[in-house]
Amino acid sequence: MDKTGCAPETLSALRKTMFAKDIFHGLQRKGGAWRVRRILAALALCYGAAAGAEPVDWVTKADVSWYTDNPLAAEFIITTAGQLAGLAKLVNGGNTFDGEVVKLGADIALNDTSEWLNWKISAPRYSWTPIGYKGGQWEAERPFAGTFDGGGFIIYGLFCGSGATGGLFGYVNPIGTIEGLGVQASYCAGSSYIGGLVIKNRGRIINCRVTGYFSSGWSSVGGLVSENGGQIIRCCFSGNISGGLVSAGGLVGENYRGGEIKDCYAAGSFLQSGGNRAGGLVGWNNGGSITNCYAVGRVSGMSYGDAGGLVGANDVVDGKGGDVNSSYYNRETGGLSDVGKGSPKTTAEMKLQDTYAGWDFNEIWVMDGQNSGYPYFRRREINEKH
């Protein structure tokens, strides 16, 4: 049994979807009217979109009443896709949620995910507009600055379509936090800046996991974050990454100065980049730091530039950063053997605890034969509920 949600075999298991889960729980619970509404909602997700129809943006169905009806509250609980879209509408309208906490109170299905692996060919019913965005030189900035507590629940079926950017969150600023959240069976493809959980992170991301397929035609694509200048701690990714010209990584596309990635991994990833800077964990460590991390996935398709089993390009900026400490990658599955930016190991070595010098196997990591024999997180808040 995979306890992490980021093991190499995870993607095949994702075909057991939220749609089937809704039907099962609907039949098991008491209360006829509630049961029928639950089942009909699941059926609507499955059959509501006509073949070839343009996806409906969830923001058009946004529910902000959970916030506007409680003007004195500092903590809010959301349980539906409409309420999650309401958060996007509020943040993109200028509400930063500074000093406020938004908690997830249930799993949320943004789409039926039974055919999510085919979304590149046939789009699902609903698309997603990211929560917040980082404006350019002449554009407004709409950051998320609050705390989003996933509570160990999972958001299924994120679909970002084919716009310029894509991710669940667009921009988390330095005082923002996302924790305890899973994003599964998700697909985002765009021309640039694609991240499964966050496009641009300056805050803290803790105990989160993502599975899915993410593609960028131009630059900076990562399974968890496109561009990181904040902290990413105890997070993992499993899935496919298809990069464009620069910066494609299993977990993070670009980790620049001030960015810290610690106790993380990318597993079961097939990575490719048509251009420069591709890595199993990070495409470009541009002045950031990486500590106690590993990658298991093949990096291929490079036409020029830097590629690495763990880090594609590793640079020091203004005399700082470019640190890769006690971090490893599987050179047999990765197809590379570069050094100086992650240590190459055999499959057998990757499954030995002695390989991971200085790692905390009392509080953070565990190796017990599960997770295909690779290390995984001892504290697994997301999985204990599922």
pTM for this predicted structure: 0.86
Largest CA distance in the chain: 66
Beta-sheet pairing, 343-345 with 328-330:
parallel
Query: Residue 31: its pLDDT value, please?
Result: 40
> Cα–Cα–Cα angle for 280, 281, 282, nearest 5°?
105
- Whole-number Cα distances in Å, 314 to 67, 93, 103, 200, 294: 43, 37, 36, 19, 15
The predicted model gives 75-83 an average pLDDT of: 98
CA 250 distance to own-chain centroid: 10
* Mean of pLDDT values over 330-356: 93
Does the pLDDT of residue 44 top 50, yes or no? no
Give all strands of the β-sheet with 147-149 in edge-to-edge order: 75-78, 101-104, 147-149, 177-179, 204-206, 231-233, 260-262, 289-291, 323-325
Average pLDDT, the chain: 84
The pLDDT tens digits of the residues spanning 55-70 come to: 999 999 999 999 999 9
Q: How confident is the model at residue 51 (pLDDT cuts 50, 70, 90)?
A: very low
Domains of the chain are 10-384 (2.160.20.110)
Tokens 């599987």 found at: 330
Higher local confidence (pLDDT), 17 or 91 = 91
Instruction: Count CA within 13 A, CB hemisphere, residue 268.
Output: 23
Q: Is the pLDDT of residue 289 over 60?
A: yes
Higher pLDDT, 205 or 19: 205
Q: Please give the pLDDT value at position 268.
A: 67
The predicted-structure confidence for 102-152, as pLDDT tens digits, reads as follows 999 999 999 999 999 999 899 999 999 999 987 664 456 899 999 999 999
Top pLDDT among 178 and 21 is at 178
